[in-house]
Amino acid sequence: MQEDPFREETNPTKKIGSGMTIAAWIFVLAIATLYFDRFLDEQRNPNQEVEYTEKNNAREVILQRNRQGHYLSSGEINGVKVDFLLDTGATDVSIPERLASALQLKRGPEIEVITANGKIAVNMTTLDRIQIGNIVLYDVRASINPYMDEDEILLGMTFLKHLEFTQRGEQLILRQYN
């Protein structure tokens, strides 16, 4: 009797083996996806775990530049973890509207500001507490920007003006004196 090459395999051992092989490939692909997602996130923000010290009557935070030449850093606003993009060209700390809602920030008066993309209306707010590493500031002026699509908060001069900062090579050192 000749075997039919199109006949479905009925051997239960081979079915289990095939299922295990498929499950193993799914597992490997899931692990690879998680690894590369984390790798790409670390490329975007190399300062997820902020390096900081305290010496000579000052708190220092050392940030590494990312591949695009920007300084991104994890930090906190009012105790909630957020990502900052340091921006010396921004007057205020500028928060995307959807993050401001998640942070439960109070909306203050609406004002017009000039950005790189022209004039826009934003709402003023005050951040009770803002922190990067061991640097902490209180009652920092900020704006809620309904036009920002990014997940990062622009860390502008209302925060940075209280610090001394120095760039050396691929690092930015932020220093807050006691």
Confidence of residue 22 (pLDDT cuts 50, 70, 90): confident
Per DSSP, 13 falls in state H
**What average pLDDT does this structure show over 45-68?**
91
Cα 93 from Cα 82, distance rounded (Å): 13
Strands (DSSP E) found in 56-132: 58-64, 72-77, 80-86, 93-96, 110-115, 118-132
95-150 confidence digits (pLDDT tens): 999 999 999 999 999 999 988 888 999 999 999 999 999 999 999 999 999 999 88
Cα 10 from Cα 53, distance rounded (Å): 66
Burial of residue 53, with CB atoms counted within 10 A of its CB: 0-12 exposed, 13-18 middle, 19 or more buried: middle
Tokens of 86: 């340091």
Tokens of 56: 């000579």
**What average pLDDT does this structure show over 14-20?**
76
Confidence of residue 18 (pLDDT cuts 50, 70, 90): confident
Between β-strands 171-177 and 164-168, what pairing exists: parallel, antiparallel or unpaired? antiparallel
Confidence of residue 39 (pLDDT cuts 50, 70, 90): low
Confidence of residue 43 (pLDDT cuts 50, 70, 90): low
Confidence of residue 40 (pLDDT cuts 50, 70, 90): very low
Confidence of residue 26 (pLDDT cuts 50, 70, 90): confident
Residue 34 clears pLDDT 70, i.e. is over it: no
Confidence of residue 10 (pLDDT cuts 50, 70, 90): low
Q: What pLDDT does residue 8 have?
A: 56
Tell me which of 16-25, 79-88, 151-160 is least confident: 16-25
% of the chain beyond a pLDDT of 90? 63
Tokens of 83: 């990502």
